[in-house]
Structure 1
Amino acid sequence: MPIAEIPLSVWRKHGKDFEFRGQRIRYWVAGHGEPLLLIHGFPTASWDWHYLWQPLARRYQLIACDMLGFGDSDKPLEHEYSLLEQADLQQALLAHLQVRQAVHLLAHDYGDSVAQELLARHYEQRIAIASCVFLNGGLFPETHRPVLTQKLLLSPLGWMLGRAFSRHGLANSFRQIFGPQTRPSESVLDDFWSLVHSNNGPRILHKLIAYIPERRLQRERWVSAMQRGEVPLRVIDGAQDPISGAHMVERYCQLIPEPDTVLLPGIGHYPQIEAPLPVLKHYLGFRDRLPSPSRQAVGS
Structure 2
Amino acid sequence: MRLAEIPLSVWRTRGHDFVFRGHNIRYWVAGQGEPLLLLHGFPTASWDWHYLWQPLSRQYRVIACDMLGFGDSDKPRDHRYSLLEQADLQQALLDHLEIQQPVHVLAHDYGDSVAQELLARDGEGSFDMASCAFLNGGLFPEAHRPLLVQKLLLSPLGRLIGRMFDRDSLDRDFSRIFGPDTRPSESELDDFWSLIAANRGHHILYRLISYIPERIVQRERWVHAMQQGRVPMRFINGAADPVSGRHMVERYRELVPNPDTVLIPTVGRYPQTEAPALVLRFYEEFRAAVTGFRPAIAVARVTQNDPATNHPFALSSTIQSASC
Length-normalised TM-score, structure 1: 0.97
Match of 1:220 in 2: 220
1:114 has 2:127 as partner:
no
1:136 equivalent in structure 2: 136
Q: Secondary structure at the match of 2:130?
A: strand
User: Which residue identity is paired with 1:25?
Assistant: I
Once the two structures are TM-superposed, the CA of residue 2 in structure 1 deviates from its matched residue by 5.6
Secondary structure of 2:77's counterpart equals: coil
The letter of the residue matching 1:22 is G
Q: CA deviation at 1:290?
A: 1.5
Aligned 8 A contact 2:112 2:137 in 1: yes
Deviation (angstroms), 1:72: 0.2
Query: 2:189 matched to 1:185?
Result: no
- Which residue in the other structure is 1:80 paired with? 80
- Correspondence for 1:145: 145
1:298 aligns with none
| Contact map agreement 1:136 1:237 (CA 8 A) in 2 | yes
Give 4+ residue runs of structure 1 displaced > 3 Å after superposition: none
1:297 match: none
Structure 2 residue identity aligned to 1:144: H
Once the two structures are superposed, what CA deviation does each residue of 1:267-287 show, in whole Å capped at 9, x if it has no partner? 000000000010000000000
Q: CA offsets per residue over residues 41-76 of structure 1, 9 Å max, x none?
A: 000000000000000000000000000000000000
Is residue 2:173 matched to residue 1:173? yes
Which string of whole-angstrom CA distances, capped at 9 and with x for unpartnered residues, describes residues 156-184 of structure 1?
Answer: 01000101110000110001000001011
CA-to-aligned-CA distance 1:136-166 (integer Å, 9 cap, x gap):
0000000000011101100001000101110
1:289 is paired with a residue whose SS is helix
Percentage identity across paired residues of the two chains: 69
Note the C-alpha offset of 1:292: 6.2
SS at match of 1:87: helix
Number of equivalent positions:
294
Name the CA distance, whole Å, in 2 between partners of 1:169 and 1:148. Answer: 12
CA–CA distance in 2 between the matches of 1:65 and 1:101?
19
* 1:43 alignment partner in structure 2: 43
Q: Find out whether 1:203 has 2:203 as its counterpart.
A: yes
Q: Which structure 2 residue ranges, 5 or more long, are not aligned?
A: 295-324
In 2, the alpha carbon distance for the partners of 1:226 and 1:181 equals 33
Q: What do residues 69-111 of structure 1 show as CA deviations (whole Å, max 9, x unaligned)?
A: 0000000001000000000000000000000000000000000
Secondary structure, counterpart of 1:242 in structure 2: coil
Equivalents in 2 of 1:292, 1:191: separation in Å? 40
Residue 291 of structure 1: CA displacement?
Answer: 2.2
Q: What is the distance in 2 between the residues matched to 1:88 and 1:280?
A: 27
Separation (CA, whole Å) in 1 of partners of 2:26 and 2:165: 23
2:261 equivalent to 1:265: no
The match for 2:299 is none
Structure 2 CA distance for aligned equivalents of residues 289 and 202 of structure 1: 40
The Cα offsets for residues 3-46 of structure 1, whole Å up to 9 and x where unpaired, read as: 11000000000000000000000000000000000000000000
Q: Which has the higher contact order (CA 8 A, sep 6+)?
A: 1
RMSD: 1.1
* Change over 3 Å in CA distance of 1:170–1:210 after alignment to 2: same
User: Secondary structure, in 3 states, of the residue corresponding to 1:104?
Assistant: strand
Q: Distance in 2 between matches of 1:293 and 1:112?
A: 22
Secondary structure of the corresponding residue to residue 146 of structure 2: coil
2: CA distance, partners of 1:54 / 1:29: 11
Aligned partner of residue 6 in structure 1, secondary structure? coil
SS in 1 for 2:290: coil
1:246 pairs with 2:250:
no
State how far apart, in whole Å, the 2-side matches of 1:259 and 1:117 are: 19
CA contact (8 A) 1:237 1:246 kept: yes
Question: Separation in 2 of the partners of 1:259 and 1:216?
Answer: 22
Gaps of 5+ in 1: 295-300
Is contact 1:34-1:293 (8 Å) kept? no
TM-score when scaled to structure 2? 0.90
Where does residue 301 of structure 2 map in the other structure? none
